Amino acid sequence: MSEALTAICDRLETLENQNHRLTDRVDDLERDLEQTQTKLDQTQTDLEALELENEQLRNRLESHQTDLTQTTALTEATRKRTGANKTRLAELQARELEKGAHLLADGVDPDEIDIVGDHLERFTKDDGQTYVRLPDHDDPLERGGSPTLTHGDLLPIQQLARMDDDMLRSTTNALPTRLAATLWNARVDSSVGDNPWQSGCKGIKEYVKASDLKHWIRRQERGVSDAYAKKLVSRTIDALLDLSHNRVAVRKRTERKNGLEYTERRLIIPIDAAIPGETGTSSESTPPETADVLG
């Protein structure tokens, strides 16, 4: 009996030891599980943060792609406009050179200009600046050392007035602006023929009456009604005031017709108006010194 009891006690002790080891193992596993769960929760939190950041980056990328697309389109449109303007400027410069104009060399690209003879002559005037011209084309205004006006020196109305009908229409689709340019050209170019301007006096160089301007507009724009022509008179005058930088002015004058008095507007150019190429006096000077030829 004693031996059996001893065996049972040994067996019980063994089981108790095993139970302690199992309890310790379970405790260790529970701690590992808790740590693993904590890491999993942290990983889930980090994952959510990364997903949020990824979404924000995706939105920023889409925004940048949209901006890039718009910028690319704007750049292409600007490139086309710049190219068109450069072509128009080259055409205008070629025409002015063929008329005998002298242009500042820095503003002319010989490779872009299509001219008779395919080469330009460079020369230096008394002002120390270098100009270009067609060979054997002296200053048509005989200004010698005085600078010949370039396109950029002119008032906007003068620039527009130098354009032909096709170029003028490609530059502006506003009828009053085109009429203002044509009206100014009629004043300075005798070949135009239909010129409503009249010589003035007492401080007025030239003027055109609103009534004459209305009839002139109807001759220029066939089919325009009398009522619409009256509106175009005001709009054309406004356009010319703006494009001339207010070198011209509007004055009201009392007229008498058939014994009745009435007030009529006049578009006038004062004698002292600072119009490029039309102010100052000519002076004799020595011929410009030829520098070289561009070909």
pLDDT at 228 exceeding the cut of 90: yes
Instruction: Find the mean pLDDT for residues 58-75.
Output: 87
pLDDT at 149: 59
Where does the pLDDT of residue 289 fall: very low under 50, low under 70, confident under 90, or very high at 90 and above?
A: very low
The span from the CA of 60 to the CA of 53, in Å, is 10
* Residue, of 103 and 145, whose pLDDT is higher: 103
Is the predicted pLDDT of residue 231 greater than 90, yes or no? Answer: yes
d(CA 69, CA 51): 27
- pLDDT, tens digit, for every residue of 27-47? 888 888 889 899 988 999 999
For residue 10, name the pLDDT band (cuts at 50, 70, 90).
confident
Residue 120: partners with Cβ closer than 8 Å, 6 or more residues away: 97, 108, 110, 113, 132, 133, 134, 135, 293, 294, 295
Question: Which among 225, 89, 238 has a CA at the least distance from the CA of 154?
Answer: 89
pLDDT at position 275 is: 87
> Residue 183: which of 163, 155, 213 has the closest Cα?
213
Q: Are 250 and 237 in contact (CB under 8 A)?
A: yes
User: Which pTM does this prediction carry?
Assistant: 0.48
- Which residues have CB under 8 Å from 106's CB, separation 6+? 130
| Alpha carbon 106 to chain centroid, angstroms | 21
